[in-house]
Structure 1
Amino acid sequence: MHTECPARYDAIVIGGSYAGLSAALQLARARRRLLVIDAGIRRNRFALASHGFLGQDGREPGAIVAEAREQLLAYPNVQWRDGMATDARHDDRGFSVSLADTRLAAPYLVLATGVKDELPSIEGLAQRWGRSVFHCPYCHGYELNEGRIGVLAAGPHSLHHALMLPHWGQVTFFTNGALEPDDAQRAELRARGVRIEPRRVLRLADTATVELEDGTRVVLDGLFTATHMTMASPLAEQLGCELDESPMGRYIRTDALKQTTVPGVFACGDAARMAGNVALAVGDGAQAGASAHRAMLFG
């Protein structure tokens, strides 16, 4: 049975990672009464360092979030609750959100709920995720020092990965039965210096050594693959927010101001983008927080 809490908040931000913290900061500085609910599961928790985020390049991701949270909570109008928001719905006070045995209310919501990465089912891949297996060249390509790079195909969209990565090293494209490049695509890959490996991948070993089905070992410095993204939270669908489809999975549909298709609900970060990184998540959050505040002012 839920305990009903009075509507003490102007907005609730669900998700306390990069996008949610950024959204909350805008609302805090607008002197709004604000609650942040966070389950503590960052998408990039497997990575040793975050790259490409201005002023924070090379820093441990958890340290970035911890400092941002400390700065946010210095504002006396901000409250924080650890836990998983399990249910959200419209009610006569705007929106209500369930957290453990408590139901909280606010007239505006910001969803920064993130996504989960579903990895290709290859032995040894998950254990190396974020260490020597990656999805974003801009985040991790430079540190491979123009070395031996693999691309593991997960579908037709992996061709884009293979064509990008020669700027970061010597690329082998493991098609692994996930796609069969046509003649024009093969010519484009060859022109970029990409070696095509059609044999099936059996497992990963060592740092990022690919073992093929016939026992051949291809020693690499790093491997890139595309994941399939799924929503980390059911809240957007519970609220009736429309979703868009992409080759990587579904994400929450928003306009340029990060308003969802449900008035009063804003969304930001990886849950509301086809693809993203830390810097884009922070920018998304800043826009969502400012837009939610303007909605409070002007409707």
Structure 2
Amino acid sequence: MENFDVVIVGGGSAGLAASIALGRSRRKVLVVDEGNPRNAVSAHAHNVLGHEGISPKDLIALGHAEAVNYGVEFVSAHIESVQGSIEEGFKISTPSSQWTARRIVLATGARDILPEIPGLQQAWGVSALHCPYCHGWEVRDQQIAILGVSEMSTHQALLFSQLSGKVTFVNHTPEKLSAENRELLTALGIEVIDSSVTGLAVNDSGQVSSLSLENGTDFEVQAVVVASQVTANASIYLELGGELSENPMGTFISAEQTGATGIPGIYAAGNVASIGAMIGASAAAGTMAGAFINAELAMETVKKKMGQNEVQA
């Protein structure tokens, strides 16, 4: 059974950044990744300093190569279980391998749960969007429909209305729209259509052209904005006895700025701990976690040596 200073679960921007920070500190690091990133459906990544418009796949390849330069090891596998504690160390098991680690970083990301509307999944990441900062510029001045499905929908309307004067709010779930938020939409000059969406007309490339409404009408659009319900990929954290936090956007692992969680020795970075974190913020969180873990391990090692010296004396 091979021993590592740190095992990082997840090879996205947060996990790679953590691995590089640790690798540059000459830590023995393993990244275990299933290769299923949240942004896999997106052709381009935006707000990535120095890499505007790069494909997520290419960005990950660059990060992987950087990490390898610092001795970081990679395995493509699904982790079946994690056991142990900070005192005794952690044992990580896959169907074919086992490792031990002094610390674990959960950079496992999250998944988007969409309303069950025919055509929505097909358009997701292409013309069905959720983030104005990730995709808003690309749909500027287009005919945009905001699907009213949650408390976040009015917030999306507010932000996308800065990018286009052709924004319509389709009130898919009327009970979610408060009188106050309806007044806000009116003040923004956004038309509200009180009807559920029964389907999207989407071509083979994922481009939406219209919405079919329960009131029997079709509504032409070029982009659809929907607030997904985000669920943290946190099975390992739950297995170790952790609990998830929740806000209107979804579930997440509560973590300090250092990445430390409520379970000693377990750190979290990226979307698993911060639902709204974009690539840059996720990478920053990974770097912070890696740096803090390195310092913690260094202090742990020297204290152990000091204790041994006292015993010998």
Q: TM-score range by the shorter chain?
A: over 0.9
Does the 8 A contact of 2:148 with 2:177 survive in 1?
no
Distance 2:193 2:175 in 1: 12
- Which residue identity is paired with 2:291? A
Does the 8 A contact of 1:242 with 1:260 survive in 2?
no
Greater shift in the superposed pair: 31-40 or 101-110: 101-110
Alignment-derived partner of residue 197 in structure 1? 193
Does the 8 A contact of 1:156 with 1:178 survive in 2?
no
Q: CA deviation at 1:194?
A: 1.2
Question: What secondary structure sits across from 1:270 in the alignment?
Answer: coil
Alignment-derived partner of residue 143 in structure 2? 148
- Which residue identity is paired with 1:243? L
Question: What secondary structure sits across from 1:146 in the alignment?
Answer: coil
Distance 2:214 2:243 in 1: 42
Does the 8 A contact of 1:269 with 1:276 survive in 2?
yes
Q: CA deviation at 1:17?
A: 0.8
Q: CA deviation at 1:293?
A: 0.9
The unaligned stretches of length 5 or more in structure 1 are none
Alignment-derived partner of residue 108 in structure 2? 113
Identity %: 32
Per-residue CA shift, 1:106-159, capped at 9, x if unaligned? 111111011111111000000011000011110001011221111112222222
1:184 and 2:185 equivalent? Answer: no
Per-residue CA shift, 1:256-276, capped at 9, x if unaligned? 211011111110000001322
Alignment-derived partner of residue 289 in structure 1? 290
Alignment-derived partner of residue 119 in structure 2? 124
- Which residue identity is paired with 2:82? A
Q: CA deviation at 1:93?
A: 4.1
- Which residue identity is paired with 1:111? L
1:82 and 2:76 equivalent? Answer: yes
Distance 1:250 1:184, change over 3 A: closer
Distance 1:192 1:183 in 2: 14
- Which residue identity is paired with 1:141? G
Q: CA deviation at 1:249?
A: 1.6
Let me know the Cα RMSD of the aligned residues: 1.5
Distance 1:160 1:154 in 2: 12
Q: Alignment partner for residue 163 of structure 2, among 168, 174, 196?
A: 168
Question: What secondary structure sits across from 1:65 in the alignment?
Answer: helix
- Which residue identity is paired with 1:245? E
Q: CA deviation at 1:187?
A: 2.2
Write out aligned runs for 1:53-64 (5 A): 53-64=48-59
Does the 8 A contact of 1:11 with 1:34 survive in 2?
yes
Distance 2:20 2:28 in 1: 12
Distance 1:6 1:81 in 2: 13
Distance 1:185 1:145 in 2: 23
Q: Alignment partner for residue 154 of structure 2, among 150, 159, 168?
A: 159
Q: CA deviation at 1:182?
A: 3.8
Write out aligned runs for 1:1-299 (5 A): 5-7=1-3, 9-76=4-71, 78-90=72-84, 93-169=88-164, 170-206=166-202, 207-208=207-208, 209-299=210-300
The unaligned stretches of length 5 or more in structure 2 are 301-313
Distance 1:6 1:236 in 2: 22
- Which residue identity is paired with 1:199? S
